[in-house]
Amino acid sequence: MRVAALYDIHGNLPALEAVLADIARSGIDRIVVGGDVVCGPMTRGVLDRLRQLDRPVHFIHGNAEVAVLDEMAGAAHTHPFPEPILEVLRWEAAQLRAEQSTLAAWPKTHRMPVPGLGDVLFCHATPRDEDEIFVRTTPEEVLLPIFEPPGAAVVVCGHTHMQFDRRIGRVRVVNAGSVGMPFAPPGAYWLLLGPAVELRHTTYDLDRAVTRIRASGYPQAEQFATSYVLQPPSEAAMLQAFSGAALKA
C-alpha cells in the first residue's frame, strides 16, 4: 500500500490538481489530507475535487479549520487575529456554511499501518495540538515528551509549510510541506509513504494558477498569488520568523 499525505492545501486548487495528476501516475492507494484545506482562494473547489477521487481519502483538521468553525459558530478565537486574517475567516465561513458539519467531523489525528514503515500517525502540527510550532531545528529534548508517547513508528505532520525528515528519539517525524502555500521555491510539496518515505515536489503552471486565483473573489487574492505562489518566502526566512514561536524547553 502506498499513501500520499497532502497538507496545507489552503484552497490552492491549481496546485492540488497538479499533485493529483502526479498521484494518478504513481499508483497511490490512499490519501491523507492533513488539515488546513481552508483559508485560501478556492476551498470549495478543493473539497469538491478531493471528494471526487476514486480512492479512499482520510481528512484530519488543522488550525485553519478550527478558526473557520469558530467563526461560523460566532465563538471567540483562540488567538487575536489581525483584521486581514479575520476578513479571510469571515469570507471562508460564508463560503463554507454548508460544509460546517463536515469540517466539524474531521478528527484531530489519523493512524494507519503502512507497509515498510509500520504504524504511522498523521497529525496537523503535533500529536497533541494542531497549533503548536516546531521546525527542523527545534531541539530533540523539547520534542521527546510530545512524539514518543503515542508509540508510532512514524509521525507525519505539516503546519509550518516546510518539509523535513528527522528522528526524535525512536520516532521518525516527517513534515509533508505545503501543497498550496510553501515556504520554499515555488511549486506544491507533499509526501509519498510506502515502502519508503519520499518528499515530493510538483511543479505547475504558476501564471495560469495566478490568473485563476485573482479571479476567485478571495479577499487576499493578490497577496496569495504574489507571496505564496509566484514568490513564496524562503525556508531560511521562515525559520527566523518562527524562532520566537517555536516550542522551547
What residues does each domain of the chain span?
3-242
The answer to whether residues 76 and 48 touch, using CB atoms and an 8 Å cutoff, is no
Q: For 55-69, what is each residue's pLDDT tens digit?
A: 999 999 999 999 999
Q: For 185-206, what is each residue's pLDDT tens digit?
A: 999 999 999 999 999 999 999 9
Instruction: Pick left, alpha or beta for residue 244 (phi over 0 → left; psi -120 to 50 → alpha; otherwise beta).
Output: alpha
> 3-242 maps to which CATH number?
3.60.21.10
Instruction: Give CA–CA dist 175/157, Å, rounded.
Output: 5
Q: For 143-195, what is each residue's pLDDT tens digit?
A: 999 999 999 999 999 999 999 999 999 999 999 999 999 999 999 999 999 99
Answer whether residue 237 shows pLDDT above 90: yes
For the chain, the average pLDDT equals: 96
Angle formed by the axes of helices 83-95 and 43-51, to 10°? 40
Instruction: Give CA–CA dist 113/119, Å, rounded.
Output: 4
DSSP state of 233: P
The answer to pTM > 0.85 is yes
